[in-house]
Amino acid sequence: MSLQNNELSAHAQHALEPLLAQISNALLARGQMLATAESCTGGLIAAACTELAGSSQWFERGFVTYSNAAKAELLGVPAALIEQQGAVSEPVARAMAEGAIQHSAAQASLSVTGIAGPTGGSADKPVGTVWFGWRVDERTHSEVRHFAGDRAAVRAATVQHALARLAALLG
């Protein structure tokens, strides 16, 4: 990684600090823990969360489930669901968020599954397509976003959106 990328990473982390403080305060006030289930971000969300001092009080664990087999084995996402819908789909994002709760001691979760590029896209699911899942207050929420830019830009936008929406859902 070049120095320039390190500076961008530090800048991106700094931009996330208000969101992470909001998430931290909300989870602590609720007495809850967070688990993440990440595919296309490869652990970047968990890393961002644990960059905050004191995160062990509210961050329970992170699952990096990059392969379809990992999604099935670690989160309990049915292999048939992945085969029928594709790994980058609403049902899989929802199952990942729910699986993170079922396979941890957390009460809140977020999941991401997408195509960061530069390859792997299709006409139906172009590069930059990301499905999100959040499990908060025993309800599962999901949405799809399409981000522009290179791999790093898609992944950074995914981290930002996942945390922003989690903060909003936690109130």
DSSP letters for 77-101 = --HHHHHHH-SSSHHHHHHHHHHHH
CB neighbourhood size of 89 (10 A): 19
pLDDT-based confidence at 14, cuts 50/70/90?
A: confident
Sign of CA dihedral 157, 161, 163, 167: positive
Tokens of 52: 């905050």
Look at residue 9 and tell me whether its pLDDT is greater than 90: no
pLDDT on residue 81: 98
For residue 91, is pLDDT > 50?
A: yes
Burial class for 127, CB neighbours closer than 10 Å (0-12, 13-18, 19+): buried
User: So what's the pLDDT on residue 125?
Assistant: 96
108 φ, ψ (degrees, to nearest 5): -130, 145
The pLDDT confidence band at residue 98, using thresholds 50, 70 and 90, is: very high
**pLDDT level of residue 164 (50, 70, 90 thresholds):** very high
pLDDT of 2 higher than 60: no
Residue 55 carries which DSSP code?
A: G
- pTM tops 0.75: yes
More confident residue, 83 or 4: 83
pLDDT at 5: 46
pLDDT for residue 13: 75
Residues 6+ apart with CB under 8 A from 10: none
| Bond from prior residue into 118 cis (ω within 30 degrees of 0) | yes
- Supply the mean pLDDT for the chain: 94
Average pLDDT over every residue of 1-27: 75
And the tokens for 11?
């800048």
CA 133/CA 123 separation, integer angstroms = 23
Q: Mean per-residue pLDDT for 16-24?
A: 96
φ/ψ of 65, rounded to 5, equals -115, 70
